Structure 1
Amino acid sequence: REISVWKRLSHPNVQEMCGLYYGLGPLPALVSPWSNAGDINDYLSKERCKPRGDEAQVGTCHVHDHSVVHGDIKGGNVLISDGGAARLSDFGLSNLLVRYSQSFTQDSVVKGTSRWMAPELFIEEEPRLTYASDMWAFGCLLIEVQSGRLPYYNKANDQQVIIALSKHELPARSPDIPDLLWSIVLDCCTIDPHGRPEIAFIGRTLNRYRVLLRVSCLVSLVIYTC
Structure 2
Amino acid sequence: MVKNCQLGPVLSYGSEGIVHSGTWRDTLAAIKVLSNQYARRVENEVKLVRSVNHTNIIKYYDLEYEQGTAYLAMEFVAGGNLYEFIQRKFTSSSYWIIVDQILQDIARGMIYLHEHHIIQGDLKSHNILLRDGTHEAVICDFGIAKLLDDDNQEKRRTNTTKGTIRWMAPELCAPPPEPSSYLSDVWSYGCIILEITSAREPWIEQFNDDSLLFRALQRKENASVFNNVCANQSGPSHLCHLLIQCCSWLKTDRLQFIDILQKFTTEDDQTMSVGSPVASKESFFDKYDDIPIFDYKKKIQPQLEKTSDDSDKLIN
Band of TM-score, shorter chain:
0.7 to 0.9
Matching residue's letter, 1:3: V
Contact 2:102 2:137 in 1 (8 A): no
- The corresponding residue for 2:211 is 159
Instruction: Give the CA deviation at 1:21.
Output: 5.6
Structure showing greater Rg: 2
Change (3 A) 1:150 1:213: farther
- The corresponding residue for 2:58 is 15
Work out which of the residue numbers 181, 191, 204 in structure 2 matches 1:130.
181
Cα separation, 1, equivalents of 2:267 and 2:193: 14
Query: Once the two structures are superposed, what CA deviation does each residue of 1:107-143 show, in whole Å capped at 9, x if it has no partner?
Result: xx45xx1011011111152531110110111111111
Contact 1:69 1:91 in 2 (8 A): no
Change (3 A) 1:92 1:135: farther
Q: Which runs of 5+ in 2 are unaligned?
A: 1-43, 148-157, 276-316
Are 2:149 and 1:104 aligned? no
- The corresponding residue for 1:141 is 192
Q: Which runs of 5+ in 1 are unaligned?
A: 97-101, 215-226
Change (3 A) 1:125 1:22: farther
Cα separation, 2, equivalents of 1:54 and 1:115: 20
Cα separation, 2, equivalents of 1:125 and 1:21: 38
Contact 1:55 1:85 in 2 (8 A): no
Q: Which moved more, 1:167-176 or 1:119-128?
A: 167-176
- The corresponding residue for 1:79 is 129
Q: Which moved more, 1:178-187 or 1:58-67?
A: 178-187
- The corresponding residue for 1:221 is none
Query: Once the two structures are superposed, what CA deviation does each residue of 1:74-113 show, in whole Å capped at 9, x if it has no partner?
Result: 10111012242110111352559xxxxx9735xxx45xx1
Are 2:83 and 1:41 aligned? yes
Query: Once the two structures are superposed, what CA deviation does each residue of 1:124-177 show, in whole Å capped at 9, x if it has no partner?
Result: 525311101101111111111232111112211211111221123326346423
Report percent identity of matched pairs.
25
The normalised TM-score by structure 1 is 0.75
Contact 1:69 1:92 in 2 (8 A): no
Contact 2:119 2:180 in 1 (8 A): yes
Cα separation, 2, equivalents of 1:142 and 1:167: 23
Are 2:257 and 1:205 aligned? no
Q: How many residues align?
A: 203
The alignment yields a C-alpha RMSD, in angstroms, of 3.3
Matching residue's letter, 2:259: F
* Equivalent position SS for 2:101: coil
* Equivalent position SS for 2:119: coil
Instruction: Give the CA deviation at 1:60.
Output: 1.2
Contact 2:167 2:191 in 1 (8 A): yes
Cα separation, 2, equivalents of 1:15 and 1:212: 32
Are 2:224 and 1:181 aligned? no
Cα separation, 1, equivalents of 2:172 and 2:117: 20
Instruction: Give the CA deviation at 1:69.
Output: 0.7
Instruction: Give the CA deviation at 1:199.
Output: 0.7
Matching residue's letter, 1:70: Q
Change (3 A) 1:184 1:20: same
**Quick check: which one's strand share is greater?**
2
